Chains A and B, each alone.
Chain A
Amino acid sequence: MSSATAHEAHHEEHPSGIMRWITTTNHKDIGTLYLWFAFIMLFIGGAMALVIRAELFQPGLQFVDPQFFNSMTTMHALIMIFGAVMPAFTGLANWLIPMMIGAPDMALPRMNNWSFWILPFAFAILLSTLFMEGGAPAGGWTLYPPLTLQTGHALPFMILSIHMMGLSSIMGAINIVATILNMRAPGMTLMKMPLFVWTWLITGYLLIAVMPVLAGAVTMLLTDKFFGTSFFNAAGGGDPVMFQHIFWFFGHPEVYILILPSFGVISSIVPTFARKPLFGYSSMVYATASIAFLSFIVWAHHMFTVGMPLSGELFFMFATMLIAVPTGVKVFNWVATMWKGALTFETPMLFALGFIIMFTIGGFSGLMLAIAPADFQYHDSYFVVAHFHYVLVPGSVFAIIAAVYYWLPKWTGHMYNERLGKIHFWLSTIFVNLTFFPMHFVGLAGMPRRIPDYALQFADYNALSSIGAFGFGFSQLLFLYIVLQTVRGGAKAGDRVWEGADGLEWTLPSPPPYHSFTTPPAVR
């Protein structure tokens, strides 16, 4: 065939080297970029966590001054949320959603390129604040005024970077939603979509609904600081507590943006290794939608202690507790899927099981925090830190790791090293619990969060947490090694990598094609 001449004819359209990655509009390329970006951010945010844990290894001030310590907690959160977990899920969406619904690419490939390439600039700006006069932002990732307005030169740069992150995730969400709605293959009706697609559709909806609220909130911080407005300035007639309401109106849906796609991942993995179809597919869809709906009416559970009317406290308390119902449905369905299944425990399944158990621990501590009178005691303590790290690390992060192990053979055409994968799982699981479980105890005993020093009675548990954190952090280097090893080579993976796997993406050859099979995918 005359493909050689054709290549020359189109040479200009296909830049090579680095330009290929900068100009790419291909969903697989962009998915890969997102995932590597998230991986790098995981290590940067992780390094900051290790600064925190090094300082907290012993009581007293050892390594950093308190201002820098607070910068570390703030930056760690912003980087992990906006730089690691969200881009990782967007990367998974890019890779998987077109393959899962039988579409050739994302709906808006050029916008897809922009959504990704905004991110490196956003985080370069955010990280550059570490070197600015007055230091990096240190008022917490929740940016409460008036404290956050005391940030030095970094404030406008941080706000610009948050705007850019928001822009990126909104464009990503619009793209994903438009793809899922419009580009499904004939026969792929909504109620036949894989749950990962469903959870992302709902996540995209949440992103579209709440990101402008964050953008508005940080803009008002900016104008309060530099343009003399008083949105949140009590001296000028503004209301600082309203910032908390507005922020958490964004913030609570945001935490579901961080967890809903994991539910989709787990719902894909568990049936494969149980060799049974997912139990209660439609109830999973409705549960996800219910969780999304409830996420709009629970925001003030983050601010029980600001002095709300009792009726408000009660409403937000009961609404929050309601979330346990659809979440319980999900956990029940995963367990019921495994019931009497022919279970095997390859690495993705191990991480999925770890997710189910440890996410549930985080869910229960969430229920404890939802009890308004009890929350007065727990508020701003390490118990809260323990709670949200359980849902985010052995929750979201474990789901992302599980997804990488599960689909990496599909992406690269190579099988990862199963033995190393299992070692990675056990190291991660042991150390993640060593890190975060003791935080429950110091929190209940009264240790406040976001402090570089603490009373002597908390010393032992903090030392354990620090050991766990370093163990967990360095265990992820093993993950990096396993991924690199798999990308570079290894045993060939078959098309249907896992014998129990179901779904359109497994009917494509690994790695996904040039030109492969001649029968159309049939949606059952």
Chain B
Amino acid sequence: MPVAVTYGPDGDRGEPQVQIVVRPNQSLSWNGNKLFFWGITAVSALVVGPLTYMGFWPVLPFAGLELAVLGWALYHCARRGQWREVIVVDGDRVEVTAGRAEPARQWSAHRLWTQVVLEPPRFRGHPARLLLRSAGRSVELGAFLTDEERVQLAGLLREVLPTPRAAS
């Protein structure tokens, strides 16, 4: 599962610390994506170049447009693959920080007042939602996980939140 758990040393006041990093699948590096893109662009150029040269240029804009969409799609995927959600349980605090290069979303609550909610989907086969909720405020975690990974993460959080050591 794309979830990494580290148990930190007990803090100054002897409180346990747990850090959970959740990340989406990212099976191909950005370089790999670029290689694929330029590879297929080269093939396209071999096709479209001669046709354009022979005067059948209307294939060119279609190929260009399509490769632009492909490039955008691969970039979008690679960028989204860098998203991280970090859950830190430190003493009495639970902190969730999510983002790519910089934190884009932050949420914190008291550890013992935080509830792990696994919201079943509205339709069969749709994904469930995993929420941390405290005092009416909630944050969604692991929207990019598969259902079974999400259940696993929920289980982990349910073990860690009441007593951080229980999970070790």
A residues contacting B by CB (< 8 A) are: 1-3, 6-7, 10, 14, 16, 20, 26, 28-29, 101-105, 107-108, 111, 170-171, 174-175, 177-178, 181-186, 188, 205, 208-213, 215-217, 219-220, 223, 231, 242, 246, 249, 296, 508, 511-521
Contact = CB atoms under 8 A, between A and B. Distances in A.
B104 interface: no
Given A216-B62, A220-B58, A183 B77 contact: yes
B131 interface: yes
A1 B133 CA distance: 12
A102 B25 contact: yes
A181 B27 contact: yes
A213 B51 contact: yes
B10 interface: no
Given A212-B48, A515-B118, A515-B128, A174 B77 contact: no
13 contacts: A14-B123, A20-B123, A29-B126, A104-B145, A174-B70, A177-B70, A178-B76, A182-B77, A186-B27, A514-B120, A515-B118, A515-B151, A517-B148
A515 B150 contact: yes
Contact of B27 (A26, A182, A223, A513): A182
B33 A182 contact: yes
B55 interface: yes
A260 to B, nearest CB: 16
Contacts of B131: 6
Interface stretch (B11-19, B39-47, B84-92): B39-47
A208 B151 contact: no
B149 A216 contact: no
A219 B125 CA distance: 41
Given A212-B44, A518-B148, A518-B151, A1 B36 contact: no
Shortest beta-carbon contacts, A-B, top 8? A216-B59, A184-B27, A212-B62, A212-B63, A215-B62, A182-B77, A515-B151, A520-B1
B66 A184 contact: no
A26 B127 CA distance: 8
Interface string B68-95: 0110011011100100000000000000
A29 B125 contact: yes
Given A103-B25, A107-B77, A175-B73, A26 B126 contact: yes
Contacts of B33: 181-182
A216 B40 contact: no
Contact of A104 (B54, B81, B127): B127
Contacts of A3: 117, 119-120
Nearest to B60: A216
Contacts of B120: 3, 514-515
B73 A108 contact: yes
A433 B63 CA distance: 40
Contact of B155 (A102, A182, A518): A518
Given A7-B122, A212-B62, A521-B148, 13 more contacts: A3-B120, A6-B129, A7-B119, A28-B125, A105-B127, A174-B73, A182-B25, A183-B26, A186-B2, A209-B43, A210-B47, A215-B62, A520-B152
B127 A209 contact: no
B40 A208 contact: yes
B28 interface: yes
Nearest to B151: A515
Contact of A231 (B24, B55, B123): B55
B51 A216 contact: yes
B148 A508 contact: yes
B41 to A, nearest CB: 10
B60 A511 contact: no
Nearest to B1: A520
B25 A186 contact: yes
Nearest to A104: B146
B7 interface: no
B9 interface: no
Nearest to B121: A514
Contact of B74 (A1, A111, A182, A231): A182
A117 B123 CA distance: 20
Nearest to B30: A182
B73 A6 contact: no
B78 A212 contact: no
B125 A511 contact: yes
B32 A174 contact: no
A51 B60 CA distance: 39
A183 B51 contact: no
Contacts of A178: 70, 73-74, 76-77
Contacts of A217: 59
A296 B33 CA distance: 23
A241 to B, nearest CB: 12
B62 A171 contact: no
Contacts of B155: 518
B144 interface: yes
B38 interface: no
A108 B70 CA distance: 11
Contacts of B119: 3, 6-7
Nearest to A32: B125
A107 B28 CA distance: 13
A180 B144 CA distance: 15
Contacts of B32: 181
Given A104-B144, A181-B32, A209-B44, A511 B73 contact: no
